[in-house]
Amino acid sequence: MQRGTEVRAVVLLSGGLDSATTLAWARARNYACYALTIDYGQRHRQEIKAASLVAERLGAHAHRIVPLDLSWIGGSALTDNTIPVPTKHQEGIIPVTYVPARNTLFLSLALGWAEVLDAHDLVIGVNAVDYSGYPDCRPEFVAAYERLANLATREGVEGRLFRIHTPLISMTKAQIIRTGIDLGVDYTPTLSCYAPLPTGRSCGHCDACRLRRQGFAEAGIEDPASLATPP
């Protein structure tokens, strides 16, 4: 959508490292960014506080935190507290932190909002390299969603097509971090942990913590969040 020179994009923002980088990417492309954070009953709801800080610091035009309880569906260590968050990574299987239909739902809320905002760019920080084996982070999922979006909506049917941007999809975690640093992202307020301690600090043991630690190590950068007081 163009109003004067303003082109709007809806950016999914969790409060983690990847989505912060994604928001910075979209800002660097001069999108007026409408950041969307979903409060889905996640175990690591502290990330929502992080998302607000990230949205503000990176200059989102607007930030919405929307409730969409998925705990009644459960079936994931992130939405069912009786399923423990694993501390060991198992190659080749979809981990129990997979949340059924999560990215499909998140993109669909983004799509509905975008249609009303007259925005045609949706931005999501999915990643298929250092990823945790989630089916809804793969390029084929994103391509299928984009196709669906343009069949599901008034905008799509009338030829004002939606595009799903996945700037991180083929980056390693270290590349994501370097990209973010180049774009001026301060990772201090971001939270990647699946099971933060009551103090707000990361557990240091889950898949998300492990990937983040490896990423910063590979990038040769100290993780500023590990030094700071949690948001």
Number of H helices, E strands in the chain: 7, 6
Q: Decide: helix, strand or coil at residue 121.
A: strand
- C-beta atoms surrounding 91 within 10 Å: 5
Closest approach, Cβ 83 to a copy of itself, in A, equals 11
- C-beta atoms surrounding 200 within 10 Å: 14
- C-beta atoms surrounding 110 within 10 Å: 25
Nearest CB to a copy of itself, comparing residues 9 and 17: 9
C-alpha closest to that of 168 among 197, 125, 205, 118: 125
Amino acid (1-letter code) at residue 187: Y
Nearest CB to a copy of itself, comparing residues 25 and 145: 145
Residue 61 burial (10 A CB sphere; 0-12, 13-18, 19+): middle
Half-sphere exposure of 163 (CA within 13 A, CB side): 7
Closest approach, Cβ 12 to a copy of itself, in A, equals 14
Nearest CB to a copy of itself, comparing residues 133 and 200: 133
Closest approach, Cβ 209 to a copy of itself, in A, equals 23
Q: Which residues bind a copy of itself (CB under 8 A)?
A: 64, 66-70, 72-75, 94, 98-105, 108-109, 111-113, 115-116, 135-136, 138, 140-141, 144-145, 147-149, 151-154, 156-158
Nearest CB to a copy of itself, comparing residues 102 and 165: 102
Nearest CB to a copy of itself, comparing residues 123 and 177: 123
Q: What are the helix (H) ranges across 118-189?
A: 139-152, 154-157, 173-182
Closest approach, Cβ 211 to a copy of itself, in A, equals 20
Closest approach, Cβ 153 to a copy of itself, in A, equals 6
Nearest CB to a copy of itself, comparing residues 130 and 136: 136
Closest approach, Cβ 117 to a copy of itself, in A, equals 9
